[in-house]
Homo-oligomer: A and B are copies of this chain.
C-alpha cells in the first residue's frame, strides 16, 4: 500500500499544499499563489507542477502516493464536478478528471467548507466522531456535514450550506444569496457587526463598544469585560446560531458540532450564548451532542482533503 497523500486547499489568493503520510502526519506543507487570470486555467497545472517537484525533492515515487484530495471554494458534487467557483474564475468541469490527467494520480475534489469539516472530524476539534457538522463563522457562514465519516456533498454540491438556512421571517435586508433572513445575516462576523450597530443605536447607557469598531472581536471582548450592551448582542447572536444548530440536530442528529472561522477565535465564551439556545430549541432525542471549537485553523482543509482520498 502507498504511504503518502496530498491534501490541497485552493483559496482565492493562495493554494495551501500539504504532503501527509498515511497516518495523517504532515511531512511538508507550503503555499503557491492562486493564478486566477484567464478563467483560472493555470491553477490546476500549477498544482500539478508543485506536486511533481515536491515528489522529486523528497525522492518519493508516484506509486507511493495514494492520491490527491482537493478543496475548492465552490459547489462540487460527489463526482468532482465543480458547478462554478466564482473566486477562481472557474465554470463547470470535472476537477477529479482534470487533475488526474495532469498528474496521473487519483484525485478527489470537494467543497472547501465540507473538506474542512472532514479535517476537523479526522484530526481537529471533533476527532473521534464520525457524524459531525462544522459551522465556519467568517465573513459569511460556511458549513460542512459529515455522516459516517463521509462528506454530504448534496445533489448539486450545495450540501452543508448552513449559512443560508432560513432563520428569520422578519428581515428586510437581502442576503448575498438574494434570500431574506439567512443564518449568515446574524451569525457571521458581518452579521454580528450588523447586530452590534442595531443594538448600539438604541443604547443610552455606558458601553465599551463604539461606532468605529463594531467587529465580532470588539463585541466578544466586551462580553469578556461584562459590558451589558455586548452581552445583549451576544445573546441575540446566540439565539440565532443556537436555534440554527438545533434545527440541524433535529434533522441529522450528529455526534458533534464544530464551530470554526474567525469569530470562533473569541473562544469558549461563544458557547455560553449558543448552548442555552441550542438546548432550548433542539428535539430532546438529539440533545446529546458535543459542541466544540475547531482546532486546525487554516490547516483543516489540507487535512480534510487528504482524508477524502484515503
Contacts and interface: CB of A to CB of B under 8 A. Distances in A.
A166 to B, nearest CB: 4
Contact of A156 (B148, B243, B286): B286
A271 interface: no
A285 B252 CA distance: 20
Given A165-B247, A247-B166, A281-B179, A253 B156 contact: yes
B251 A283 contact: no
Contact of A251 (B165, B246, B288, B289): B165
A92 B145 CA distance: 28
A158 B75 contact: no
A159 interface: yes
Contacts of A155: 131, 253-255, 286, 288-289
Given A154-B253, A155-B288, 16 more contacts: A145-B251, A147-B147, A152-B253, A154-B252, A154-B286, A155-B254, A156-B253, A156-B286, A157-B253, A159-B252, A159-B253, A161-B250, A161-B251, A161-B253, A161-B285, A179-B281
B252 A286 contact: no
Interface string A124-148: 0000000100000000000101011
Interface string A171-189: 0000001110010000000
Contact of A152 (B147, B255, B288): B147
25 contacts: A78-B148, A131-B155, A145-B252, A147-B152, A155-B253, A155-B255, A155-B286, A155-B289, A156-B253, A157-B253, A158-B249, A158-B285, A159-B252, A160-B251, A160-B252, A161-B251, A161-B286, A164-B283, A165-B247, A165-B283, A177-B283, A179-B284, A182-B283, A247-B247, A251-B251
Contacts of A131: 154-155
Contacts of A148: 78, 150
B251 A162 contact: yes
A220 to B, nearest CB: 25
